[in-house]
Each structure stands twice: as C-alpha cells, then as structure tokens.
C-alpha cells in the first residue's frame, strides 16, 4: 500500500514573525485566523499526529484535526538560543551561528544538532511507510525540512536550503521502504 503523508507547518506565532528561536508559544491572531480559514479545505485522514508544542496543537485544533500528540515530532531543541532573536544571537556569537549553519553535527547552543534532528525524524517517518493511505502531521518547519532531506536522500547540509513558511503543506508518498516528495508550498483547497 502506498502511504500518503501530508505535513503541515504550524500557523504563525510572534516568534515566527520576529525571527526568534521558538519557545512553547501560542499562535498569534493572524495565524489562528488563517488556520481556521483552511478547515473546510482539509480532507480527513486515517491517521493524524501533532507535535507536543502549543503552537502545533493549536494549529491542529484550528484545522479540525483529532491528532495524536507525538513526541518525535517536537521542534528542534535550540538550547540556550530558545526565545532569542536570530539577529541578537548572530551579533553576540557569530562564529557559533556560522558553525551551526555550516556543520550539521554542530550544536553550539547546547541543544540538538541538525544531524540528530534529521535522524529522529527519519526514524519516525520510516515507521509510517506503508501504514495507511492518508496521514496528516502538524508540526514545525525544522521537522518538515528534516522529512524532506530524508525523503529525497539529500545531504544533511542541504537542510537550511529548504524554506518552509507557516501553514505550508508538504506531501510525501511512500512505498517499499522509501519516500518521494510530491509537493511543497502553500495549502490550496484542491491539493488538500
């Protein structure tokens, strides 16, 4: 059976608008309104999962999904950078940011490296291959990037070359132990 997995990046928060490393913040008013507006366009799935963070759970709720909270889908652990603006971190520790963006093994913030994040997502993703014909995940841009990197067999350093905006949809299909990328972009009613 071919698995069809739709990954949806959570709606906007104050952190996404301000380019901050996220904490466990709620959706902002615009993000909540945009997610609610998409509710009628989202087809039901046999299985739905959601990251444990508040912003992902609120997005799933706004989309009308009865999703299972799944710890493996949690956002990247940004360690000491959590809650700080990207520009502020760059200004105070440019070498650490440069290393982090260049080296997938690096975690100068004391949190999770990009490589470890990709491996965590790959392990979860591969367990879902062939499970059901239609599944939905509401999670974070970092998790979606990791799923794309794994599904197309890209090098971990390509992680930062994938842009995922709030409420972007990524569609993967899986069969015989491999995943294929079908679409990445805004949610459109005819695609969901």
Span 154-185, pLDDT tens digits:
999 999 999 999 999 999 999 878 899 999 99
Q: What is the phi/psi pair of residue 72, to 5°? A: -65, -20
Structure tokens at 181: 């990328």
pLDDT at 120 over 80: yes
CA–CA distance, 4 with 138 (Å, rounded to integer): 14
pLDDT of residue 177: 80
- Rounded to two decimals, the pTM is 0.94
pLDDT tens-digit map of 7-49: 999 999 999 999 999 999 999 999 999 999 998 878 778 899 9
* Confidence at 189, pLDDT banded by 50, 70, 90: low
CA–CA distance, 177 with 174 (Å, rounded to integer): 7
Q: In this structure, what DSSP letter does residue 75 have? A: P
CA–CA distance, 44 with 66 (Å, rounded to integer): 10
Helix axes 114-128, 141-151, angle to 10 degrees: 70
149 near 158, Cβ under 8 Å? yes
Structure tokens at 116: 């470890």
Q: In degrees to the nearest 10, what's the CA dihedral of 15, 22, 179, 155?
A: 100
Total residue count of the chain as it appears in this document: 192
* Residues forming beta bridges with residue 170, ordered by sequence position: 7, 184
Fold of 3-186: Rossmann fold (3.40.50)
Structure tokens at 9: 């990046």
């Amino acid at each position: 059976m071919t698995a069809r997995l739709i990954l949806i990046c959570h709606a906007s928060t104050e952190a996404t608008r301000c380019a901050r490393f996220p904490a466990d913040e709620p959706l902002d008013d615009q993000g909540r309104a945009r997610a609610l507006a998409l509710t009628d366009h989202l087809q039901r799935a046999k299985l739905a999962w959601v990251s444990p963070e508040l912003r992902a759970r609120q997005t799933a709720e706004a989309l009308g999904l009865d999703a299972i909270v799944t710890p493996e889908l949690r956002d990247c652990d940004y360690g000491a950078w959590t809650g700080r603006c990207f520009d502020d971190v760059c200004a105070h520790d440019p070498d650490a940011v440069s290393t982090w963006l260049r080296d997938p093994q690096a975690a100068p913030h004391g949190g999770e490296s990009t490589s470890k994040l990709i491996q965590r997502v790959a392990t979860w993703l591969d367990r879902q291959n062939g499970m059901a014909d239609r599944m939905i995940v509401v999670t974070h841009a970092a998790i979606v990037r990791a799923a794309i990197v794994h599904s197309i067999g890209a090098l971990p350093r390509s992680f930062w070359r994938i842009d995922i905006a709030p409420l972007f949809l990524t569609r993967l299909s899986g069969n015989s132990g491999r995943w294929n990328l079908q679409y990445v972009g805004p949610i459109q009613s005819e695609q969901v």
